[in-house]
């Protein structure tokens, strides 16, 4: 009689034999290779404004039909964009085109250089906006690793009635205004759970918000050359400011927010100010919510020395994988997508702003006037919202959004190290720990700075990030 051990060993041998047989005979189940039609598979996020996807999918198919290409578009939640890319790179198969909404730079090694496409677009429409260029080009490796067709501004959204009641009918214009306003808001609107709704949680909106505060106080993670400069008096000032703001105008709710929470809180009139794109506003419009009549916008707030900077809320970065067998088709698709920038902006209800302003210029505009013409067209849409804003010029501030918007990685270029710091919430945690008293501002800064330097050092070893000689 066999023992249990012998029994299991024999079973394992059977498995090993079976696995060896399967691996040595792949030809048995291989599909016959017939004449291949042109195909293109695109992986895209599920847009925060659903109307955009209703436009994009048929547009992509129609483009494909016109060019003899079978186009398939798959949508994933924004949080799944990076994990899907990780899986496809590991498997070396999947979609041809992958859209990132943050930093695609970590995947630079596995994507083709799109210099040819960006060059052609530049010849046709002029340069892309600077923040799009800095999000899709690596000056260290000199590779155009992604192509951006759109970016999204991140204005302040404020509750008109509440701010009017405290004597600021046009909303805040500086970060210090938030601190002054918070106690007054508590008096006039005690039912509002969170007077000032700036997230300090591990989510995308909070990541943008804390960077806005950091930059407006003169701090940054890296400098223009890629040196880590987070550990600075300016960063400490930004952290101390946030601690003050938290103590007068926020509470623990903002530490638990996800990407939809600030939208929900504002639309439920539980907060009087958030930092968000116009997606929350469009939701309020679509659902005719009571908050709509008091839903207004302000540009990026100014810091103590007048710096006015806000991160883009979303930056598209389309990459074409090296393992794609349809690279030429993919490049043509991306060209066409940029060419359709007007439709894209309108389909998204003005959520998407074009990365190539020249692509939305009036037809027939001379090359040297295209950017200006494009800006004029954008301004026309913002000044008279075709989607029913009351008053019609409610979104007019967005016309000048480019002047106060910047890229992740500011004042430098986006890079994999910035991407990892973003995706592991190093900066939001720094602000959150100091604001709640879990750590002193100085200790929170030291902890975050050490982690940032560790991350940068790792990517420098892989030769994908520059700097290092002037790390603080």
Partner 1 sequence: MTTTEIALARPRGTSGHALSRRDIRLGEILLAPALAYIFLLVALPFLLALFLSLTNSSAGSLEFSFVGLQNFRSVMYSPVFRRALTNTFVFTFLSQLLVIVLGNILARALMVPFRGKLAVRFLILLPWAAPISLATLGWLWIFDSTFSVINWVLKVVGWLGPGQWYYWLGDPVLGMIAIITVHVWRMLPFSTVILLAGLTSIPKEVHEAADLDGAGPLAKAFQITLPMMLPILTVAVLFGVVFTFTDMSVVYLLTRGGPFNSTHVLASLAFQDGVLGGDVGRGAAVAIFLVPLLVVMAVVMLRLSRRAEVV
Binding site for partner 1 (CB under 8 A): 1-2, 7-8, 10-12, 14-15, 18-19, 82-83, 85-86, 89-90, 92, 106-110, 193-194, 200-203, 251-258, 261, 264-265, 268, 270, 416, 419-420, 423-425, 428-429, 432-433, 436, 438, 447, 451, 454, 458, 461-462
Instruction: Give the nearest distance from C-beta 257 to partner 1 in angstroms.
Output: 8
CA 211 to chain centre: 13
Nearest to 350 by CA among 408, 288, 282: 282
Least distance to partner 1, CB of residue 420, Å: 5
Q: How many Cα atoms are found within 13 Å in the side-chain-facing hemisphere of 386? A: 13
Query: Distance (Å, rounded) from C-alpha 348 to C-alpha 355?
Result: 14
Which helix H or strand E contains 41, and what residues bound it?
strand 38-45
Minimum distance between the CB of residue 27 and partner 1, rounded to whole angstroms? 21
Shorter beta-carbon distance to partner 1: residue 264 or 400? 264
Q: Measured from the CB atom, is 165 or 423 closer to partner 1?
A: 423
Give least dist CB 429 to partner 1, A. Answer: 4
Q: Closest by alpha carbon to 450, among 471, 467, 464, 466? A: 471
Q: 131 or 319, CB closer to partner 1?
A: 319
Helix (H, G, I), strand (E, B) or coil at 466: coil
Beta bridge partners of 43: 74, 98
Considering the complex, state which of residue 10 and residue 472 has its C-beta at the smaller distance from partner 1.
10
3-state secondary structure of 118: helix
Nearer to partner 1 by Cβ, of 14 and 367: the residue is 14
In contact, 465 and 459? CB cutoff 8 Å: yes
Q: Please give the backbone phi and psi of residue 103, each rounded to the nearest 5 degrees, phi first.
A: -100, 120
We find the least distance from the C-beta atom of residue 130 to partner 1, in angstroms, to be: 25
Closer to partner 1 by Cβ: residue 126 or 249: 249
Residue whose CB is less far from partner 1, 248 or 253: 253
CA-nearest of 103, 111, 207 to 151 is 103
Question: Measured from the CB of residue 26, what is the shortest distance to partner 1 in angstroms?
Answer: 16
Q: Provide, rounded to whole angstroms, the least separation between the CB of residue 349 and partner 1.
A: 26
The 10 Å CB-count burial string (b at 16+, else e) for 78-98 is beebbebbeebbeeeebbbbb
> CB of 2: closest distance to partner 1 in angstroms?
6
C-beta of 232 vs 261, nearer to partner 1: 261
Of 134, 79, 140, the C-alpha closest to 109 is: 140
């Amino acid at each position: 009689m066999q023992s249990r051990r012998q029994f299991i060993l024999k079973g394992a041998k059977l498995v090993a034999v079976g696995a060896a047989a399967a691996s040595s005979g792949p030809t048995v189940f291989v599909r016959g290779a017939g004449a291949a039609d042109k195909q293109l598979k695109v992986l895209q996020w599920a847009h925060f404004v659903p109307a955009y996807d209703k436009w994009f999918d048929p547009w992509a198919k129609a483009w494909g039909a016109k060019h003899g290409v079978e186009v398939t578009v798959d949508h994933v939640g924004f949080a799944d964009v990076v994990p899907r890319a990780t899986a496809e790179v590991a498997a070396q198969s999947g979609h041809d085109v992958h859209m990132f909404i943050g930093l695609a730079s970590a995947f630079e090694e596995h994507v083709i250089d799109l210099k040819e496409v960006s060059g052609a677009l530049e010849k046709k429409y002029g340069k892309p906006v600077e923040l799009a260029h800095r999000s899709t080009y690596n000056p260290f490796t000199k590779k155009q690793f992604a192509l951006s067709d759109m970016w999204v501004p991140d204005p302040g959204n404020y509750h008109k009635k509440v701010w009017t009641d405290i004597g600021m009918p046009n909303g805040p214009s500086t970060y210090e205004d938030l601190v002054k306003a918070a106690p007054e808001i508590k008096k006039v609107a005690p039912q509002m759970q969170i007077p000032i709704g700036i997230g300090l949680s591990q989510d995308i909106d909070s990541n943008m918000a804390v960077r806005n505060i950091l930059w407006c106080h003169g701090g940054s993670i890296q400098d223009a050359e890629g040196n880590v400069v987070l550990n600075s008096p300016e960063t400490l000032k930004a952290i101390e400011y946030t601690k003050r703001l938290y103590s007068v105008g926020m509470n623990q709710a903002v530490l638990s927010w996800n990407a939809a929470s600030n939208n929900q809180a504002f639309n439920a009139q539980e907060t009087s100010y958030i930092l968000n794109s116009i997606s929350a506003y469009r939701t309020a419009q679509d659902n005719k919510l009571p908050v709509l009549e008091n839903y207004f916008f302000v540009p990026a707030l100014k810091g103590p020395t007048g710096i006015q900077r806000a991160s883009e809320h979303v930056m598209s970065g389309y990459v074409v994988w090296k393992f794609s067998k349809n690279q030429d088709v993919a490049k043509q698709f991306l060209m066409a997508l940029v060419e359709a920038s007007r439709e894209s902006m309108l389909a998204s209800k003005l959520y998407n702003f074009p990365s190539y302003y020249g692509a939305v210029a009036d037809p027939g505009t001379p090359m040297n006037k295209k950017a200006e013409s494009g800006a004029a067209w954008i301004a026309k849409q913002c000044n008279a919202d075709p989607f029913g804003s009351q008053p019609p010029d409610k979104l007019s501030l967005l016309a000048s959004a480019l002047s106060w918007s910047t890229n992740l990685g500011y004042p430098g270029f986006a890079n994999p190290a910035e991407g990892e710091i973003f995706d592991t919430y190093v900066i939001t945690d720094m602000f959150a720990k100091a604001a709640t008293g879990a750590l002193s501002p100085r200790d929170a800064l030291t902890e975050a700075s050490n982690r940032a330097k560790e991350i940068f050092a790792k990517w420098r070893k892989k030769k994908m990030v520059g700097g290092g000689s002037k790390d603080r």
